[in-house]
Amino acid sequence: MRILVTGTAGFIGAETAIALARQGHVVAGVDHLDDYYDVRLKQARWARAAAEDVQQQRLDIADAAALQALFADFKPERVVHLAAQPGVRYSIEHPQAYVQSNLVGFANVLEACRRHHIGHLVYASSSSVYGGNRKLPFAESDAVDHPVSLYAATKKSNELLAHSYSHLYQLPVTGLRFFTVYGPWGRPAMAVWLFSSAMLDGRPIALFNRGEMRRDFTYVDDVVSGVLRVLEAVPVADPGFDTLHPDPGRSWAPYRVFNIGNHRPVALRDFVAALEDAFGVRAILEEQPMQPGDVEATFADVDRLRLVTGFAPATPLAEGLRRWAVWYRGWRESAS
């Protein structure tokens, strides 16, 4: 198939585009290549995808005309939308970046998919939509009406926008709520990168909430496998949808939302201990209070995704961090 992937200079976007190209699809990739973090890392990911015959184009999805022109030229049959302004804490100080990319940009993607009759749009949502929810594990049937960060609010908004287009135009749409993805080629603002950098530099690691926060760390290869499986599972309208007791993850429209996580939450203290084993270095710990926009725990119920696609995360944390440590040492040396 002809598949368009947005965000191909990003962490998950690059790996997804590469995996699709290796499957034999004709893949086009777009990215803005902004300077939210080290552009050299983005350019390296971009080059890796290009080496796998991904047709790369620099483009801002907030530019509606340019995006429509790309769709008209490439004529995709499927779209995997992974471009977004990421980060919870960054959204507190830079709200406009989130409005442009996550709201305006996503609306442009939906409109292009509608106009060009895309057979299936898969897009990135986030576990952050669960916000202040305390029931664990998080399930797609849970209400997600209390975001605690602007980033989370934009991702919840994406789900609402997607549903409206699915309902109005019968556009098959699937949202994926990612849970703390880690692995080689990850983002510098992620905990695994920040912790690794501090450990190798001999600096203290800031453990927010005294290290008692728990995260459902999910290895990137498992996530990409899930994305590819979902892309093949095109949603259909559910005529039996109960409008008296609506399920947020389902609809009478061809619309679905799935969690995609490891289903094994890990306390940050234990995560640091596993990272110490991977690097063979002891960490200096500095306990700090909770930060604005953070939540105490994330924990994915992935039963629905497993039922529909057979998804099953296969990478133990120790193995994932071992692979991460090998890559990070190499990247750190090459970038110094």
Report, as residue numbers or ranges, the catalytic residues: 151
- H-helix segments, the chain: 11-22, 39-51, 64-74, 89-93, 95-98, 106-115, 150-169, 191-201, 220-232, 268-279, 303-309, 317-335
Q: Phi and psi of 183, rounded to 5°?
A: 140, 180
Q: List CB contacts of 242: < 8 A, sequence separation 6 or more.
A: none
* CB distance 202 to 195 below 8 Å: no
Compute the Cα dihedral for 328, 329, 333, 334 and give only its sign.
negative
Q: Among residues 252, 257, 251, 255, which one has the least CA distance to residue 140?
A: 257
Strands 214-215 and 266-267: what pairing?
antiparallel
CA-CA distance, 131 to 154, in Å (whole number)? 12
Q: List CB contacts of 269: < 8 A, sequence separation 6 or more.
A: 207, 211, 212, 285
CA-CA distance, 233 to 304, in Å (whole number)? 12
